[in-house]
C-alpha cells in the first residue's frame, strides 16, 4: 500500500542554522508534491509545490528538492528563526484529485 | 475574502447523536475536501468534491456523509456519533486538482 514517512516526529535546531526535513514515499510515483506548515490549533498553510520534472524549487529561505529515483523530498529552511517553529507536512499527490499527507515533523528553532 | 470558514469551532456530542459540520468558501473553488486529524497524526481524507453535485469517498468515509448542492458549501454529516470520531476536522478548497489547498480553521469534536 502507499506509504509516506516524514523523518522524526520532532526536530530541534539552533537559530541561524539550516533545518532539513525529509519526506519518503513508497509504492507510488506522485506527479507532484506539496509542503504545508501547521501551527498549533490552526489549519495547514500551503508553502511550496514541486513537480516530478523539477529537481528543486525555492521561495525566499525555503528550498524543496524532489528525487523521484530515491522517492524522497527534502525541505530546507535556511537561516532558521524561532518564528519558523511549527509542524511541517508533506503531501504527495495520489491521483484522482487527492493529496496524501504525511504525519508531519514538529520543528523547534531555539534562540 | 473570508476564505474557508467552518462552524462550529468546538462541539461535544454524546454517543449516538448526529450533527452537521458546516464549511463554506468564497473563492469560487470547484474542489473541496474534508479531512480529520487525530493527535500527532497527519490528515486523513474523508470525502471530497470536484464540483457542485459531485462527491466521492476518501480514505476514511465510514460514519460520514456529504453533499455539495452549491459551489460554496460542503457540509459534513455525522450520523450516530462514536468515540472513534473524536478528532479535529478540517475543510479545504482548491481551484484545481494540482493547486494549493486552502484550509479552514477546523472544528474540534469530542464524542463522549
- The pLDDT profile of chain B, 112 residues, written as one tens digit per residue, is 789 999 999 999 999 999 999 999 999 999 999 999 998 788 999 999 999 999 999 999 999 999 999 999 999 999 899 999 999 999 999 998 888 999 999 999 999 9
Task: Report CB contact under 8 Å: A101, B103.
Answer: no
| Residue B12: predicted pLDDT | 97
Q: How far is CA B111 from CA A58, B16, B45, B106, B107, in A?
A: 43, 9, 20, 16, 13
For the record, the C-alpha cell of A9 comes out as 516526529
Q: Is B58 near chain A, with CB under 8 Å?
A: yes
**How many other C-beta atoms lie within 10 A of the C-beta of residue A9?**
11
Q: Is B45 near chain A, with CB under 8 Å?
A: yes
| Residue A97: predicted pLDDT | 65
Contact call for residues B6 and B19 (beta carbons, < 8 A): no
Contact call for residues B90 and B79 (beta carbons, < 8 A): no
| Residue A96: predicted pLDDT | 67
Task: Report CB contact under 8 Å: B98, A9.
Answer: no
Task: Report CB contact under 8 Å: A89, B98.
Answer: no
Grid look-up 474540534 returns B108
Of B82, B76, B80, which is closest to residue B107 (Cα–Cα)?
B76
Could you say which of B40, B100, B106 has the minimum Cβ distance to residue A34? B100
Q: Which residue of A has its CA nearest to B41?
A: A103
Provide residues of A within 8 Å CB-CB of chain B.
4, 9, 31-32, 34, 41-46, 49, 89, 93, 96-104
Partners of B35 on chain A (C-beta within 8 Å) are 101
Tens of pLDDT along chain A (111 residues) come to 778 889 877 999 999 999 999 999 988 788 899 999 999 999 999 999 999 899 899 999 999 999 989 999 999 999 999 999 999 999 998 766 678 899 999 999 999
- Quick check: helix, strand or coil at residue A104? coil
| Residue A30: predicted pLDDT | 86
Chain A with chain B: Cβ pairs closer than 8 A: 50
Partners of B56 on chain A (C-beta within 8 Å) are 96
Amino acid at each position: 500500500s502507499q506509504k509516506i514517512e516524514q523523518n522524526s516526529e520532532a526536530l530541534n535546531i539552533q537559530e541561524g542554522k539550516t533545518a532539513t526535513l525529509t519526506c519518503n514515499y513508497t509504492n507510488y510515483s506522485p506527479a507532484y508534491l506539496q509542503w504545508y506548515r501547521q501551527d498549533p490549533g490552526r489549519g495547514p498553510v500551503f508553502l511550496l509545490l514541486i513537480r516530478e520534472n523539477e529537481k528543486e524549487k525555492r521561495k525566499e529561505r525555503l528550498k524543496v528538492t524532489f528525487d523521484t529515483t530515491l522517492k524522497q523530498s527534502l525541505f530546507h529552511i535556511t537561516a532558521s528563526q524561532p518564528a519558523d517553529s511549527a509542524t511541517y507536512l508533506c503531501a504527495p499527490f495520489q491521483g484522482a484529485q487527492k493529496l496524501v499527507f504525511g504525519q508531519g515533523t514538529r520543528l523547534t528553532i531555539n534562540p | 475574502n473570508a476564505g474557508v470558514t467552518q462552524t462550529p469551532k468546538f462541539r461535544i456530542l454524546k454517543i449516538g447523536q448526529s450533527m452537521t459540520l458546516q464549511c463554506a468558501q468564497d473563492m469560487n473553488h470547484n474542489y473541496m475536501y474534508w479531512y480529520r486529524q487525530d493527535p500527532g497524526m497527519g490528515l486523513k481524507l474523508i470525502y471530497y468534491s470536484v464540483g457542485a453535485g459531485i462527491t466521492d469517498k476518501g480514505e476514511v468515509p465510514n460514519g460520514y456523509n456529504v453533499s455539495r448542492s452549491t459551489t460554496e458549501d460542503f457540509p459534513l454529516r455525522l450520523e450516530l456519533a462514536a468515540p472513534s470520531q473524536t478528532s479535529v476536522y478540517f475543510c479545504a478548497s482548491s481551484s484545481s486538482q494540482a493547486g494549493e489547498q486552502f484550509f479552514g480553521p477546523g472544528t474540534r469534536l469530542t464524542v463522549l
